[in-house]
Amino acid sequence: MTQGTPISPKGGGKRPPPGRTVALANVVPPDNSGRTMFLASCGVLILMMGGLAAACAFMNVFGSFAEKPMISFVSAFNAVVLAIPYFMVILWMDRNEKEPPHLIASAFLWGAIMSTMISCVVNTLFGAIAQGVIGDPAAAGQLTASISAPFIEELTKGAALWVIFLFFKKDFDNVMDGIVYGALVGLGFAAFENFMYYARTDTLLSTFVLTMMRGVIGSVGSHACYTALTGIGFGLFRVMRKGALRWAMPPLFLGLSMFTHFAWNTFVGFFFPSNYTPGGIIQELAMIITSMGSAVFILQLPFVVFVLIVTAVSLRHERKLIEQYLSTEVAPVLMPGELQRLVPARRRSWHSFKLLATFRLGEWFKTRKRNRKLIRLAFEKWHMDQEAKLDQKIQGHYHAERVLGLRKELADLA
């Protein structure tokens, strides 16, 4: 039997040897106890750091509400409400192989708690040192915003992607997953950071103006876009699988996210310095719309468009992947007509809506469960195929085991 025979596209070529999946599943993997202990130790350390960061975040929130209860309430409301549309868009983009809820929540909370607290400490220290050297608080603040913030904030947010990739690799399939996880981490960071900025204002008018600047106009391509760029790098690292260029992807896109962050922070620092005080509401809105709107168009929109283009390409790849790797399946794993309503996603969504609209809840639940398992089966077969091409039998073994398990589960659900 020849290892690594690729599964042929739909409609052409020969089907690969039927025994390959079983052969890979029967490969005996090496002893991974050392790696398991290492990951467990890293996990304990991350949990301890997360607990400390959560305590610091709680103290920040508690202090804000104790000092300025009304402004803090409005600030929290604005930060949460303005984050919800972005959160829904991110989940909508993840329409095929959806990420598990616990990783969605973990990515968001990492950005909101871990990244913000570590960045706050580092930025504060950097600012204090810069002020001691330069002697000018305004210049020190600008240096912190332009140098320290882009570096440490993107690094701590990017660390979340590394942790997810390291501990939950089976839930990190491709570039689309990198974009989703990265955008969620960035959104969590933006939501909590915005709250902290809003809560520092002294009047509700200042809170409103700052919300317009940071939460409405300036948020179009802010932290969610920055970390989505880093996620593209991790996603490319996942799908490339070999070669020197593969190892350059995460640092390359991390550097791109830092540059984007630097460009925006530098503009805001020059045109809206740290000692900026809002004036009349009409003048403020006019200045915000003209100056920041133009800056968003020039500095943020190109990167937002880039992320959206990569997202569209990734979704197209996922659709072809599902069609290709499920086309060789037969009943009771794949029932007649099931693939035709599975892709594209809008057809799947419309079928689910019709089941709900006619109150066929049992069938809706079963169909939803089968859809997820079928899509997961396609991804596992794709991974197995790619690993087999590289003669990576150990990695192929784990995917083959999941393929066999999913086929059994789908047959039981038929």
> What contacts 360, CB < 8 A, 6 or more positions away?
none
Tell me: pLDDT of 280 over 70.
no
- 385: tokens are 């195929």
User: pTM (2 decimals)?
Assistant: 0.89
Report pLDDT for 221: 64
- 399: tokens are 């995917």
**Cβ contact 201:263 at 8 Å:** no
| pLDDT band at residue 162 using 50, 70 and 90 as cut-offs | very high
Report pLDDT for 38: 83
| pLDDT band at residue 4 using 50, 70 and 90 as cut-offs | very low
Tell me: pLDDT of 12 over 50.
no
| pLDDT band at residue 214 using 50, 70 and 90 as cut-offs | confident
The dihedral formed by the CA atoms of 393, 241, 158 and 133, expressed in degrees to the nearest 10: 120
**Cβ contact 161:82 at 8 Å:** no
Tell me: pLDDT of 20 over 70.
yes
Report pLDDT for 3: 43
Q: Is the model more confident about 3 or about 209?
A: 209
Considering only 35-39, 116-120, 202-206, 324-328, which range has the smallest mean pLDDT? Answer: 35-39
Q: What φ, ψ does residue 141 adopt, rounded to 5°?
A: -65, -40
Burial of 184 (0-12, 13-18, 19+ CB in 10 A): buried
Average pLDDT in the chain: 88
Please identify which residue in the block is written with the tokens 């009771």. Answer: 332
Tell me: pLDDT of 56 over 60.
yes
Percent of residues in the chain assigned helix, strand, coil, to nearest 5: 80, 0, 20
Please identify which residue in the block is written with the tokens 């409609």. Answer: 11
**Cβ contact 228:182 at 8 Å:** yes
Tell me: pLDDT of 260 over 60.
yes
Average pLDDT over residues 361-383: 96
What DSSP letter does each residue of 212-257 carry, written as one string? IIIIIITTTTSHHHHHHHHHHHHHHHHHH-SSHHHHHHHHHHHHHH
Average pLDDT over residues 62-79: 95
**Cβ contact 153:186 at 8 Å:** no
pLDDT in tens, 110-158: 999 999 999 999 999 999 999 999 988 888 988 999 999 999 999 999 9
| pLDDT band at residue 212 using 50, 70 and 90 as cut-offs | confident
Considering only 46-50, 256-260, 269-273, 397-401, which range has the smallest mean pLDDT? Answer: 269-273
Tell me: pLDDT of 1 over 60.
no
Report pLDDT for 13: 46
CA distance 19 to 25: 10
Report pLDDT for 282: 53
**Cβ contact 25:393 at 8 Å:** no
What DSSP letter does each residue of 339-408 carry, written as one string? HHHHSSHHHHHHHHHHHHHTT-HHHHHHHHHHHHHHHHHHHHHHHHHHHHHTT-HHHHHHHHHHHHHHHH
Q: What percent of the chain has pLDDT over 90?
A: 70
> What contacts 313, CB < 8 A, 6 or more positions away?
none
Output DSSP code: residue 131: H
Q: Which of 23-27, 44-48, 166-170, 373-377 has the highest mean pLDDT?
A: 373-377
Average pLDDT over residues 96-118: 95
Tell me: pLDDT of 188 over 50.
yes
Q: Residue ranges of the domains in the chain? A: 34-315, 327-413
pLDDT in tens, 265-276: 888 766 655 444
Q: Which of 168, 116, 122, 311 is nearest to 231 (CA)?
A: 311
Q: What amino acid is encoded at 161 in this protein?
A: L
pLDDT in tens, 326-356: 999 999 999 999 999 999 999 999 999 999 9
Considering only 14-28, 90-104, 364-378, which range has the smallest mean pLDDT? Answer: 14-28
Q: What percent of the chain has pLDDT over 70?
A: 89
Average pLDDT over residues 38-62: 90
Tell me: pLDDT of 289 over 80.
no
Report pLDDT for 26: 82
Task: Report angle CA 359, 365, 371 to the nearest 5 degrees.
Answer: 125
The dihedral formed by the CA atoms of 123, 128, 134 and 138, expressed in degrees to the nearest 10: 70
- Which stretches of 1-100 are DSSP H helices? 20-25, 33-67, 69-93
